[in-house]
Amino acid sequence: MKHLRQLTDELMAKKARAALGGGEEKIAKQHAKGLLTARERIDLLVDAKTFVEFGQLNASDQPGLEETTYGDGLVAGIGKVNGRPAVIIAGDKTVLAGTEGSVHLRKSRQMHALAVRNGLPMFFLHEGGGLRMPDGMGSDGISDKLFPRELLTHHRKVPTMAAILGDSYGGPTWTAVSCDFVTQLKGTCMAIAGPRMLELANGQRVSPEELGGVDIHHQYTGQIDADGETEAECIEQLKRFFSYMPQNENERPPMRKTDDDPYRMVEEVFSILPDKRSRVYDMRNIIACLVDEGDYFEYQKQFGKALIAALAHLNGHVVGIIANQPNQYAGAPGPQECQKATEFICLCDSYHIPLIFLHDTPGFRISVEAEKAKMATKIMVWNQALALSTVPKISVVIRKSIGAAYGNMCGPGMGADVVVAWPSAEINFTGPEVGVNVVYGRELERADNPHERRQELLKQWSFDSSPYGAARKHLIDDVIHPAETRKFLCQTLEYLLTSKREKSERLLAAWPTGF
């Protein structure tokens, strides 16, 4: 008994040292930069006293580093996040700059296997410098440290969420861009390699933020879904996103209790939608009227701004909303909006989340720049995702829905279970003005009175763009009272979520997490 006590005391002394990671001096340096340590970040994420750490006594397998590299740059374990069990992995910058050595990578792989085997969601709190040298040097060093296969074949078996909370290169970046949701702390960098490596490789000199800061990802890449001013804000975003997710591929997202009447009239929409068709408005105000308690979580808010993608609840059910945003490019989707819509459809279909489409678009945003960005391909990839998705889909035409964009927003024949319109809807191949200009442009140039001739042609081209032509032929399912939209959505959703349809077939689960 005495010997066991002595051994136990030695163990606890080792664990106390291990809990300090790279030591008090390194922790002080981390705090001096205004950043938290890996364990402090985990404490912000998990419910109090629920975290069980694995691999605390790990250390680098390089000779001489046994007592100074506890955890080998990675803190990992299982804890509860808002009462739900999950696997948590956090890069430890205080140990060898959070770089990845052999033990670090082995632990990461085993934690991923544990999560998938037990159906546990995964949280990554990342900061680190990628593959460690000299561990990865030489043909033998690099051969077992290439891209993590468990991420490449994950197929959305469990939800994955990442926060970039310090400069992250290599491995942390590969992980983050493979996740279902990514948030990034302002002032940090997420890139393939750091500025120093970039300068040595090709002579380019840039700051970390110019290379992979928040603005770069919002404006160009779409590789992050949100950002935060503080680490606490970023971690709270992870929790909020998680509240809309199921535990794993075999479960539906949790229902949320609500006192918001599913049959509530939304008379506010009459004051939101402008009388003049050319006037803009904020579609977010329409969404807030429709969803439970006016509460929703926007996905990629700063990327592809002409399209809104959001998670919300309708009568307690989690739904995904894809809506045109008229106050950005009149609601016309461009390449970024196509990418955003595709990723969001894949996310929702993989986790059994029904989709609601709210139309107000004049058509796709075409330009030389859009063509260079493979606009045609991105439009069709969006359509492919739509065609393969098997969750219930409800489509509502609020105002304009013109041309091919009518299809991409889940118009008739594009896989919607139900397509309805407000009486304000305008549905057509193109506006009469554009059609007349294209077909009769040269004739108008030669006309003695171009204005008078244009008016004559516009009268000839006054096709019925109202929803009633489509409704008469049952090409759409109904024209609904705008104030009854919430009631219609809640009611229809309840009827569609039968035992056969409550879970999708997950045909999009194997699609890449980014395009």
Measure the CA–CA gap between 323 and 393, rounded to whole angstroms.
Answer: 13
User: Based on the domain organization, do 165 and 82 belong to the same domain?
Assistant: yes
430 belongs to a structural domain = no
pTM of the prediction? 0.92
Please tell me the predicted confidence (pLDDT) of residue 115.
97
259 belongs to a structural domain = no
Please tell me the predicted confidence (pLDDT) of residue 195.
84
287 belongs to a structural domain = yes
Please tell me the predicted confidence (pLDDT) of residue 140.
57
Which SS3 state, helix, strand or coil, does residue 250 take?
coil
Which amino acid does the sequence have at 403? G
Please tell me the predicted confidence (pLDDT) of residue 432.
64
User: Based on the domain organization, do 67 and 38 belong to the same domain?
Assistant: yes
Is the separation of the CB atoms in 43 and 52 below 8 Å? no
User: Based on the domain organization, do 404 and 322 belong to the same domain?
Assistant: yes
CA triplet 230, 235, 237: central angle to 5 degrees? 100
User: Based on the domain organization, do 333 and 374 belong to the same domain?
Assistant: yes
Please tell me the predicted confidence (pLDDT) of residue 131.
76
Reported as type and span, the H/E element at residue 117 is helix 102-118
**Residue 515, pLDDT above cutoff 60:** no
Residues 6+ apart with CB under 8 A from 367: 334
Residue 378's CATH number: 3.90.226.10
Look up residue 450 and give its two tokens.
Answer: 């171009």
CA triplet 65, 67, 70: central angle to 5 degrees? 90
For 153-213, give the DSSP string: T-TTSS-EEEEEEEEEESHHHHHHHTSSEEEEETT--EESS-HHHHHHHH-----HHHHH-
165 belongs to a structural domain = yes
Confidence of residue 150 (pLDDT cuts 50, 70, 90): confident
**Which of 133-147, 377-391, 496-510 has the weakest average pLDDT?**
133-147
Residues 6+ apart with CB under 8 A from 307: 322, 323, 324, 325, 331, 333, 337, 340, 341
**Residue 284, pLDDT above cutoff 90:** yes
* Look-up of token digits 């000299």: 134
Confidence of residue 431 (pLDDT cuts 50, 70, 90): low
**Residue 215, pLDDT above cutoff 80:** yes
User: Based on the domain organization, do 66 and 150 belong to the same domain?
Assistant: yes
Question: Backbone phi, then psi, for 201, in 5-degree steps?
Answer: -75, -45
User: Based on the domain organization, do 4 and 112 belong to the same domain?
Assistant: yes
C-alpha closest to that of 292 among 311, 272, 271: 311
Domain containing 196: what range? 1-249
User: Based on the domain organization, do 242 and 295 belong to the same domain?
Assistant: no
Other Cβ atoms less than 10 A from the Cβ of 210: the count is: 13
User: Based on the domain organization, do 127 and 220 belong to the same domain?
Assistant: yes
Which amino acid does the sequence have at 99? T
Q: Report pLDDT digits (tens) over 434-475.
A: 666 667 777 777 877 878 777 877 666 656 688 999 999 999
Q: Strands 74-81 and 52-54, how do they pair?
A: antiparallel
56 belongs to a structural domain = yes
Please tell me the predicted confidence (pLDDT) of residue 246.
98
Phi-psi region of 14 (alpha: psi -120 to 50; beta: other; left: phi over 0): alpha
19 belongs to a structural domain = yes
C-alpha closest to that of 165 among 210, 220, 230: 230
Measure the CA–CA gap between 427 and 40, rounded to whole angstroms.
Answer: 54
Measure the CA–CA gap between 75 and 96, rounded to whole angstroms.
Answer: 13
Domain boundary among 249, 279, 305: 249
CA triplet 507, 370, 356: central angle to 5 degrees? 40
User: Based on the domain organization, do 277 and 225 belong to the same domain?
Assistant: no
260 belongs to a structural domain = no
Confidence of residue 248 (pLDDT cuts 50, 70, 90): very high
Measure the CA–CA gap between 88 and 103, rounded to whole angstroms.
Answer: 17
C-alpha closest to that of 304 among 374, 359, 383, 223: 223
Query: Is the bond preceding residue 253 a cis peptide, omega within 30 degrees?
Result: no
Domain boundary among 185, 216, 249: 249
For 64-79, give the DSSP string: T-TTT-GGGGEEEEEE
User: Based on the domain organization, do 339 and 370 belong to the same domain?
Assistant: yes
Please tell me the predicted confidence (pLDDT) of residue 27.
95
pLDDT mean across residues, the chain: 92
505 belongs to a structural domain = no
Residue of higher predicted confidence among 141 and 11: 11
User: Based on the domain organization, do 229 and 270 belong to the same domain?
Assistant: no
| Interval 488-508 mean pLDDT | 95
Give 54's strand partners: 76
How many domains does the chain divide into?
3
Other Cβ atoms less than 10 A from the Cβ of 113: the count is: 12
Please tell me the predicted confidence (pLDDT) of residue 416.
96
Measure the CA–CA gap between 169 and 154, rounded to whole angstroms.
Answer: 21
| Interval 489-504 mean pLDDT | 94
Is the separation of the CB atoms in 287 and 308 below 8 Å? yes
Look up residue 503 and give its two tokens.
Answer: 């879970």
User: Based on the domain organization, do 46 and 177 belong to the same domain?
Assistant: yes
Reported as type and span, the H/E element at residue 360 is strand 355-361
Which SS3 state, helix, strand or coil, does residue 515 take?
coil
